[in-house]
Amino acid sequence: MKKFYSAHKPYILATIMLVCVCAFLFMIQYTIKSSNSTLKSVTYSEFKELVNDGKVDYIRYQTGDNDMYFYLVDDKDRLTDRTLYRTIYPDYESFKREMLDKGINIQITPSVSTGSFWWIWVVILFLIIFIIMRNNTNTGRIMNMGNHLNNPFSDDGNKDIKTEESSVRFADIVGQDEILDDIKFITTLIRYPERGEKMGAKAPRGILLQGPPGTGKTLIAKAIAGEANVAFIYANASSFMEMYVGVGAKRVRQLFSEARKKSPCVVFIDEIDAIGGSRNAQGRNSEDDKTVNALLQEMDGFKSRDGIFVIAATNNADSLDKALVRAGRFDRQITVNPPRNWEVRRQLYKMYLQDAPLGDDVSLSAIAKETAGFTGADIAAACNEAKVIAIMKDQAYIDTACLEEAIDKKIFKGNRAKDQHKREHDREIVAYHEAGHAVMTYLCGQPIARASIQSTISGVGGVVFQEEPDTSFQTEESLRQQVMICYAGRASESIKFKDVTTGASNDITQATRIMSGYIEHYGFNPDFGMVDMSVLQQNRFVDSSEITSRISAMSKTLYDDCRKLLEENYDKVENLAQALLEQESMSGDEIMKIIGD
């Protein structure tokens, strides 16, 4: 009973308050109506005679009633047993003014009727039904919880935990050659532990796969289980979290209990940061800590989990509890990144398009170069979207236009606009804007993958895709060139139209981020030297206005340099802009034929 009261205390108190308010209002109404037992009824003619004789003290009338009530002047001094008279209320507007002229006050009050409170009773009834249904639902959940916990792998229990035999092999993984060699040897130790015993080596207890979504962490875990020829048990960590005390810890223990029955096996815990976050982090509660403690206990000691290999995946490894990622639990932490080489992305495009006919104009190398940063999942989604687009166009094959439209949908999160040809002046502005970006990219020695002026419904008017640089390092000069490339669209508009638009807003944001890093973090500013200014800002050792002034001065200098360089080569911008107006989308090779020397 105490638990029920604690759980539903707010609803019970609200119901009691509403009942009290209704009782108070009805008590007032009853008090008024109960006085009717002492009434003395008179005719309206008798009432008029009393008025003319000056014997009426004051009149009380409730709107909507047919009768009115009055007291006599003779009874004015009587505190108790004062007679209340009742007569018909004349329904004409001048009655009140007539009474006031005779010196008789008339008090008109709103009518208090039982029907006016119907909505309160509806609310009370609704709350009572809600509390009863909530109680029955929670009771049913608690009664069924035991069945779900006894078999968390059943279809009626936890559907996020699955046991299966994996058919994935290492040959199915493309673009992760850097980490596969290490993983292959770990798989060998899992399958043939005697090979490690010769040197006293043991297979790692667990692997933590970290990296952005869609990079293939789950695929790698399945490949390990498939190559080792052991059972694969998948569990999403968020399924362990419940509002009931002890449920999370119990589900963790039952997960490993099931794993012991399936041993040897691979247990894969996806999104482990849902339960494995730092126990000192804000917003956590004792139930979260109990779940983490249960997971730590299960992962300790080979004897209690012999033949069980744990793999976990997360997008945010920094948030995990230090005890969880220490050596002896997750011995290996492997970062799974998107493919950095365009040739790897070309292999992925080839794999996902192998069952679809391609047009003669399709260059997977060009497509791969313009999708820098795409993960394997992104490429799979783009290929599937290209197939859908080809079907919608009633084509028997996938051409370059289908692939480029699919990529644009993925990057810009929207379909292409169909009315762009109706706004020729806007297309012209976009063409010169994007041509400015492309020419400045060429002048800075950066390779161009594609340029397009096909607008999308998400608001993007055009784009210039750059190829990935040959190095992963940034120099002072390369950062300054990136800012000039960002400013080239605005500069081109200014040169051509003597006016500018708001189309450079995203370019300005990107340039500001680059200059902020240039001055605050990378130590390229000679006035500040090798100092991370953001650290000084956090400790309030430096005024932010000083950094702002440096960024502003750098911005003006680079914009002037960009505009000057673009003016000297504006014939290239003119030629490319006109070509874009005709073709709308051009590959890097086509662009170089126009602007290249």
Q: Check: CB of residue 488 under 8 Å from CB of residue 436.
A: yes
Phi and psi of 347, rounded to 5°? -65, -40
pLDDT of res. 285: 57
| Confidence band for 156, pLDDT divided at 50, 70 and 90 | very low
pLDDT of res. 28: 56
Q: 177-191 and 217-228 are packed helices; what angle lies between their axes, rounded to 10 degrees?
A: 40
Phi and psi of 546, rounded to 5°? -65, -40
* Alpha-carbon span 394 to 250, nearest angstrom: 54
Helix (H) / strand (E) containing 594: helix 588-595
As a dihedral over the C-alpha atoms of residue 286, residue 290, residue 296, residue 302, rounded to 10 degrees, the angle is 170
Q: Beta strands 448-452 and 332-335: pairing type?
A: unpaired
pLDDT in tens, 534-587: 777 776 666 778 888 889 999 999 999 999 999 999 999 999 999 999 998 898
395 pLDDT more than 70: yes
Percent of the chain with pLDDT over 90: 22
406 pLDDT more than 80: yes
Per-residue pLDDT, averaged over 391-395, amounts to 92
Q: Helix, strand or coil for residue 441?
A: helix
Work out the angle at residue 427's Cα, subtended by the Cα atoms of residues 423 and 428, and round it to the nearest 5 degrees.
120
Q: Check: CB of residue 241 under 8 Å from CB of residue 248.
A: yes
* Alpha-carbon span 454 to 340, nearest angstrom: 27
Which residue type occupies 155?
Answer: D
Per-residue pLDDT, averaged over 475-489, amounts to 94
Chain position carrying tokens 């940061």: 273
Mean pLDDT over all residues of the chain? Answer: 79
pLDDT in tens, 54-88: 888 888 887 777 788 888 887 766 655 677 888 88
Helix (H) / strand (E) containing 72: strand 67-72
409 pLDDT more than 90: no
pLDDT in tens, 310-328: 899 988 888 787 888 777 7
* Chain centre distance of CA 453: 30
Per-residue pLDDT, averaged over 518-547, amounts to 80
pLDDT of res. 515: 93
CATH architecture for segment(s) 152-335: 3-Layer(aba) Sandwich (3.40)
Greater model confidence, 91 or 591: 591
Percent of the chain with pLDDT over 70: 75
Work out the angle at residue 225's Cα, subtended by the Cα atoms of residues 340 and 218, and round it to the nearest 5 degrees.
40
Greater model confidence, 191 or 430: 430
142 pLDDT more than 70: no
pLDDT of res. 56: 85
pLDDT in tens, 176-201: 877 887 788 778 777 776 776 667 66
pLDDT of res. 384: 94
Q: Kindly state the tokens that stand for 558.
A: 């680079």
* Of 370, 404, 434, 468, catalytic: 434
Strand partners, 267: 233, 310
Q: Which of 280, 267, 355 is nearest to 312 (CA)?
A: 267
Q: Which of 382, 402, 403 is nearest to 394 (CA)?
A: 402
Per-residue pLDDT, averaged over 169-177, amounts to 83
Neighbours of 261 (CB within 10 A): 10
Distances (CA, A) of 334 to 12, 218, 330, 466: 53, 13, 10, 29
- The CATH 1.20.58.760 portion of the chain extends over 420-595
Q: Which of 114, 115, 122, 95 is nearest to 32 (CA)?
A: 114
582 catalytic residue (yes or no): no
* Alpha-carbon span 496 to 578, nearest angstrom: 13
Lowest mean pLDDT among 153-157, 238-242, 299-303: 153-157
Per-residue pLDDT, averaged over 102-117, amounts to 67
* Chain centre distance of CA 558: 36
Greater model confidence, 465 or 192: 465
Which class is 9-116 in CATH?
Answer: alpha beta
What's this model's pTM, rounded to 2 decimal places? 0.65
- The CATH 3.40.50.300 portion of the chain extends over 152-335
pLDDT of res. 145: 44
Which class is 420-595 in CATH?
Answer: mainly alpha
Q: Beta strands 84-88 and 332-335: pairing type?
A: unpaired
The sheet with strand 67-72 has its strands ordered as 39-41, 84-88, 67-72, 56-62, 105-109
Q: Check: CB of residue 279 under 8 Å from CB of residue 285.
A: no
| Confidence band for 124, pLDDT divided at 50, 70 and 90 | low
DSSP state of 175: S
pLDDT in tens, 244-260: 556 777 888 888 888 88
pLDDT of res. 418: 65
96 pLDDT more than 90: no
DSSP state of 40: E
Alpha helices in 192-246 (DSSP H): 193-197, 217-228
pLDDT in tens, 13-45: 556 666 666 666 566 555 555 444 467 888 888
* Alpha-carbon span 371 to 559, nearest angstrom: 28
CATH fold of the domain at 342-411: Helicase, Ruva Protein; domain 3 (1.10.8)
- The CATH 3.30.720.210 portion of the chain extends over 9-116
pLDDT of res. 111: 60
pLDDT of res. 11: 52
pLDDT of res. 49: 86
Greater model confidence, 41 or 140: 41
Which residue type occupies 234?
Answer: Y
pLDDT in tens, 258-296: 888 888 888 998 888 877 776 665 555 566 677 788 888
Q: Which of 377, 384, 486 is nearest to 436 (CA)?
A: 486
